Homo-oligomer: A and B are copies of this chain.
Amino acid sequence: MAEPLVPQVSHALEVLDFFGIAVFAISGALLAAEKRQTLVTFIFFAVVTGVGGGTLRDLLIGAPVFWVHTNATLLICIGAALGVWLLSTRRIAASALDWFDAAGLASYATYGAAKALAYGVVPVPAFAMGVLTACFGGIVRDVLAGEPSILMRPELYVTAAALAAGLFVGLNLLGVPIWAAAAAGAVAGFGLRGLAIQRGWKLPAYRK
């Protein structure tokens, strides 16, 4: 009875969450591989990248942190790190890191915004939760690795997360069914990020 009521996010959307965890964990481990790190660092980077954004989202919206009451989430991240460690990364195409990251970005941005709305968060912060969920893990990964943060590069990265989260929240406000809004948001975000990767699209920098 003392338990807080935990709003339920549609199960269809939870698939986006698991997908985001796995692909972000792989992207974290791939950065560790690129930097010739140890297995412990592989695991740490996989965990931080996999659960970092969702952790911040849950703290901010007052939800129980999603990976604290289940063994599965961390085991997925550890499994992803072991997988990248054991497989030769040469078998993974050079651009794999970017594409995994793009898929995680679009999934997580949509799911993050959906979870925030399910917790009664109003639209503008719910949109911000989507962007944060998608970008925060990668930002922490880059800061820990001493890489220039994705934030400081002109690529359409945060922008793609903003498109996914914004489209989802906007369609939701217009009364579009949640699964259709989620599909539209995730596809649009992935599409924009994919085009940015392939064609090198960039935002204009400040020049005054």
Contacts and interface: CB of A to CB of B under 8 A. Distances in A.
Interface of A: 2, 4-5, 32-33, 35-42, 44, 47, 55, 59-62, 64-65, 67-71, 74-75, 85, 88-90, 120-125, 128, 139, 143-146, 148-149, 151-152, 154, 158-159, 162, 202-208
Copies in the complex: 3
A68 B36 contact: no
A72 B88 CA distance: 50
B71 A65 contact: no
A205 B38 contact: yes
A15 B158 CA distance: 31
B158 A203 contact: no
B35 A125 contact: no
Given A69-B125, A71-B124, A154-B38, A89 B208 contact: yes
B125 A37 contact: no
B203 A38 contact: yes
Residue from A55, A85, A89, A128 whose CB has the most chain B CB atoms within 10 Å: A128
B62 A206 contact: no
Contacts of A89: 208
B146 A151 contact: no
Residue from A33, A40, A70 whose CB has the most chain B CB atoms within 10 Å: A40
A60 B65 contact: yes
Contacts of A159: 40
Nearest to A161: B40
A60 B68 contact: yes
A86 B64 CA distance: 40
